[in-house]
Structure 1
Amino acid sequence: MRTIIKGSEGDKMENILNYVRLRKDISFQMSPFNVIDALILSDLAYVDWNNIVKDEKVDLQRACRQYFKIHTPEEIQRKYVFSNNVPNLAKEVSRSNRFKDISLMKYREDFDEEKNIQFSVVTFVLPDETLFISYRGTDGSITGWKENMQMTYMSHLPCQKMAAEYAEEIIDGIEEKSFWFGFVHKKVYPKIYLAGHSKGGNLAMYAALFGKGIQEHITSVFAFDAPGFRLDVWNSIKDRSILEKITNYKPKDSIIGCLLEHQETAKIVDATDFGLTQHDAFSWSIGPKDFNYVQSLTKQSEEALAYIDKILMSKEDVDKKTYIDLIFSVIDKFDVKQLSDFNDIGIRKGISGILELRQLSGEEIKFLFEVISFLRSQTSSLLKQAKK
């Protein structure tokens, strides 16, 4: 992993919501597309665009407004317990002139509990025809989190292969243009970005690394606190020049974004909150055109990663699978399908889940409950709203 440190321009802003509000009248012509805009479009991939965006282009601001028309506040509140600022971002974008000429197209979603697939992607078209392929990260489903953990012992997941196929489809689908009075036809490729937050960033990197015949057409890949890959995945890359186009942006307490092996460029971002809560990119410190960077990861991040390596990552693949299957069998005993379900766990469900733990050591039980505690913490915004 190659780490680059540089300062950002201007004074600090609180987060990307402030950015959208404060730059609402600054067009891309006045201030070109930047990494903060890339993070915003990556977070918008978490929005459920079903029944709003299909294959044809749809105006982004109209799509945002339509989303709030067809979903109740209660539905939205429960869906985005992992980051209750996602719908707030969609609202701000819907009234920002900076984003008024962006459209969406080719929305895809695939969810399969039995096959452990949680996949979604959408393509944004910028005013200058730049294509921005935005992969969704892990959402509020337990299936998505189990799929995340399968990356520790599986090299090529179905969702990753789907990510590569989608990028191939988008790039292959660019239409030819006519030149010399129609005698010459050829494709003129616009700027093409691949991006995503968390698992979405992993999917963007995988698509760039393994998509067939697309590497030369990709401008950049923005990964935001994205986990890496197993070493055999990195060793199987045929075109290593694509690595120069990939950057992984991580908060200073990063844990998720440091898991597995990394060979892409990394930049460390200053952030508020602590530990795993920094995985939510709304806590990241930004300036007018870039993040505010720090020199290195914190000691807390390094200690957490050492602990995870000791208790999980250093195990053999077969043991990782057994351990992870056990974690999610306990969660299944709790009858939890979505993060919001953690709020409904009763005594009977709790005892049923605890009975599964007899085969674990004390240290493994401690780690298991830390995993469950983290997942449950993602519902904190829901609990706060319920008390109001």
Structure 2
Amino acid sequence: MDKMAGPLDYLRWRGDLSFKQKQYNSVDGAILASIAYLPFDGSIVGHSLKEACERILALYSGSLDLHRKTETRLLVKSPRFADLKILDWTSRLEAEPAPLQFAALTLQLDENTILISFRGTDSSVVGWNEDMIMNYSYQIYGQTVARDYLEAMADKFKNCKIYITGHSKGGHYAIHSLAAARYDVQDRVISALSFDGPGYRSVFAESTGFKRAIDKMRTYVPESSVFGIMLDHPERTLVVKSVYPMMHQHTPLNWSVGRDSFVLAEGLTTSARIIRHALIQFNQSIPAEKRGQLWSAIFLAFENMDITDMNVFTEHRIRGTWTLGKVVMGMDPEVRQVATEMIKLIYQSAKNNYLPFSEGDFSACPKSNDSSKAPIFFESYNFKD
């Protein structure tokens, strides 16, 4: 793997420059989206980001992965970020009335500007359940919560302009909240950045609010994106270089950075294009009702087995496989039948819809790294449900 600079290097290079000296940019947005995953609580409100990060290092250092720990240590030492005041922290994890895994951080960038950072999906089963609902429904409860949060912060800090950022589902919330917000709030938002967020269905992208604010939206996806290509992106989308393997490209901390911006790739890799094609065929071949039945059954089985964290499947492969087997066998026979039918439909979809397996098959679809200049995607989901 060739070494290229990333956001952590940016923290080392440019972390000594205040936002007055060097204005907010996309790499700042990615870093501030990333910190929303830190295990903060309400006690950080009113403190500086440095103080909050020092507390995290003191209490949770042993449970942070290397990237997260390094980022937190660098933030403590960075004049650009360390003195940012934390204005609000909100975190909610609820199974009823609808699955909700939501966290948001509001920071004071300067006397006239605030930034809202939405957390993406964590390891909770509730959070993953919420994500899967997006596969068969264009509405999830968290979208409303995110919009309400944006409007509440806008009302609380009436004289401030607003930046919004988020990673993964948090990126979805960043752009969705802007599009769904009151127009007076939209007008105060400078930009909404999404980092490998899954995208949007046409029913929402065609809304008046989305169209009105689209020039303030921007999405960044890595060149081998999986999560970021699950839905459509009518907003401006840029493809970023990453030297990491596909499954490690979801985090922006593994993306390539130049001086103070991301390095763009040539376009999506062949693997990413194949996956998007397959996802489109899957969603168009299997009705939303059946997809909903399957995901609902799976998460009900998790609940019945008191599984609350998805790490149970990944921390130990053998135990995780055994647990997953118990989940499947614990389903009602009728539900298992639905799952079997879906597997057959997936197979039939792959059989009936040719999946391209080489770059040559995309010869009529040249690569692009900026959707404002040339298309990045050549197929649309066009959901009928």
TMscore range, shorter length: 0.7 to 0.9
Q: How does 1:1-388 map to 2 (within 5 A)?
A: 13-54=4-45, 57-71=46-60, 73=62, 76-77=63-64, 85-114=67-96, 115-175=98-158, 189-213=159-183, 214-238=185-209, 240-312=211-283, 314-329=285-300, 336-342=307-313, 343=315, 345=319, 349-355=323-329, 356=331, 357=336, 359-361=338-340, 364=343
Residue identity opposite 1:290 in structure 2 = S
Q: Are 1:101 and 1:127, in contact at CA under 8 Å, matched by a contact in 2?
A: no
Alpha carbons of structure 1 residues 351 and 153: separation in structure 2 relative to 1, 3 Å:
closer
Residue identity opposite 1:37 in structure 2 = D
Alpha carbons of structure 1 residues 306 and 28: separation in structure 2 relative to 1, 3 Å:
same
Alpha carbons of structure 1 residues 228 and 33: separation in structure 2 relative to 1, 3 Å:
same
Cα distance in structure 2, aligned partners of 1:152 and 1:300:
21
Shift of 1:142: 2.0
Instruction: Say which SS state the counterpart of residue 281 (structure 2) adopts.
Output: helix
Aligned length, in residue pairs: 335
Q: Are 2:27 and 2:260, in contact at CA under 8 Å, matched by a contact in 1?
A: yes
Shift of 1:271: 0.7
Cα distance in structure 2, aligned partners of 1:39 and 1:72:
21
Cα distance in structure 1, aligned partners of 2:321 and 2:266:
46
Mean Cα deviation higher: 24-33 or 345-354:
345-354
Residue identity opposite 1:123 in structure 2 = T
Residue identity opposite 2:151 in structure 1 = E
1:8: which partner in 2? none
Residue identity opposite 1:136 in structure 2 = R
Alpha carbons of structure 1 residues 242 and 359: separation in structure 2 relative to 1, 3 Å:
closer
Instruction: Say which SS state the counterpart of residue 237 (structure 2) adopts.
Output: strand
Q: Are 1:194 and 1:222, in contact at CA under 8 Å, matched by a contact in 2?
A: yes
**Over residues 188-241 of structure 1, what are the superposed CA-to-partner deviations in whole Å (9 max), with x where a residue is unaligned?**
x43311110000010011110011231111111111111122221223334623
Cα distance in structure 2, aligned partners of 1:306 and 1:335:
35
Deviating above 3 A after TM superposition, structure 1's stretches of 4 or more consecutive aligned residues are: 326-336, 346-351, 356-363, 365-368
Q: Are 1:135 and 1:203, in contact at CA under 8 Å, matched by a contact in 2?
A: yes
Alpha carbons of structure 1 residues 239 and 333: separation in structure 2 relative to 1, 3 Å:
closer
User: What is the aligned-residue identity percentage?
Assistant: 26
Cα distance in structure 1, aligned partners of 2:7 and 2:291:
37
Alpha carbons of structure 1 residues 323 and 242: separation in structure 2 relative to 1, 3 Å:
same
Q: List runs of 5+ in structure 1 lacking aligned partners.
A: 1-11, 176-188, 369-388
Cα distance in structure 2, aligned partners of 1:135 and 1:275:
24
Q: Are 1:125 and 1:131, in contact at CA under 8 Å, matched by a contact in 2?
A: yes
Give the structure, 1 or 2, with the largest relative contact order (CA under 8 Å, sep 6 or more): 1
Taking structure 1 as the reference length, what is the TM-score of the superposition? 0.79
Cα distance in structure 1, aligned partners of 2:289 and 2:73:
45
Cα distance in structure 1, aligned partners of 2:139 and 2:339:
28
Cα distance in structure 2, aligned partners of 1:247 and 1:255:
18
Alpha carbons of structure 1 residues 346 and 26: separation in structure 2 relative to 1, 3 Å:
closer
Q: Are 1:152 and 1:313, in contact at CA under 8 Å, matched by a contact in 2?
A: no
